[in-house]
Amino acid sequence: MADWLTAAAVQDRLGLKPQTLYAYVSRGLLTARADPGDSRRSLYRAREVEALAERRRRSRRPSEVAAGAMTWGEPVLASAITTVQAGRPWYRGRDALLLAETETLESVARLLRGGDGVTLKRSDRPEPPSAGPPLSRAFLALAARAAEASPALGQPALARSAEAALLLDIFADALAAETDSGPIHLRLAKAWRLGPGGPAADLIRRTLVLLADHELNPSAFAARVAASTGASLAASALAGLAALSGPRHGGAPAALARLRAEVLAQGPDAAVAARVAEDRGIPGFGHPLYPDGDPRAAALLARFNPPEDLARLAEQVRATTGLAPNVDFALVAVCDHLGAPEGAALSLFAAARCAGWLAHALEQVQDGGLIRPRARYTGPPPESAPDA
> Which tens digit of pLDDT belongs to each residue from 353-376?
999 999 999 999 998 789 988 888
Euclidean distance between CA atoms 377 and 267, whole angstroms: 47
378 has a pLDDT exceeding 60 = yes
126 has a pLDDT exceeding 70 = yes
120 has a pLDDT exceeding 70 = no
* Bridge partner residues of 95 (DSSP): 90
Residue 292: the pLDDT is: 86
Query: Global pTM?
Result: 0.81
Half-sphere exposure of 369 (CA within 13 A, CB side): 2
* Beta-carbon count within 10 A of 213 CB: 28
262 has a pLDDT exceeding 90 = yes
> Is the separation of the CB atoms in 52 and 24 below 8 Å?
yes
Euclidean distance between CA atoms 188 and 201, whole angstroms: 8
Give me the mean pLDDT over the 47-55 stretch.
83
Residue 311: the pLDDT is: 94
- Contacting residues for 348 by C-beta, under 8 A, at least 6 apart: 188, 204, 207, 208, 211, 331, 334, 335
For 144-166, how does the pLDDT look when each residue is reduced to its tens digit (9 = 90+)?
Answer: 999 999 999 889 999 999 999 99
Residue 261: the pLDDT is: 92
119 has a pLDDT exceeding 70 = no
Would you name the residues annotated as active-site residues? 249, 287, 328
CATH class of the structural domain 77-371 = mainly alpha
For 310-319, how does the pLDDT look when each residue is reduced to its tens digit (9 = 90+)?
Answer: 999 999 999 8
86 has a pLDDT exceeding 60 = yes
Give me the mean pLDDT over the 52-69 stretch.
62
Band the pLDDT of 388: cuts 50, 70, 90.
Answer: low
291 has a pLDDT exceeding 90 = no
Residue 65: the pLDDT is: 53
Euclidean distance between the first and the last CA atom of the chain, given in angstroms as a whole number: 65
Give me the mean pLDDT over the 50-61 stretch.
71
Euclidean distance between CA atoms 383 and 137, whole angstroms: 47
Euclidean distance between CA atoms 363 and 37, whole angstroms: 43
Beta-strand relationship, 82-85 and 32-35: unpaired
To the nearest whole number, what is the mean pLDDT of the chain? 88
> Is the separation of the CB atoms in 184 and 351 below 8 Å?
yes
343 has a pLDDT exceeding 70 = yes
- Contacting residues for 91 by C-beta, under 8 A, at least 6 apart: 81, 82, 99, 108, 111, 112, 212, 213
Band the pLDDT of 213: cuts 50, 70, 90.
Answer: very high
Region of poorest pLDDT, from 6-10, 11-15, 55-59, 161-165:
55-59
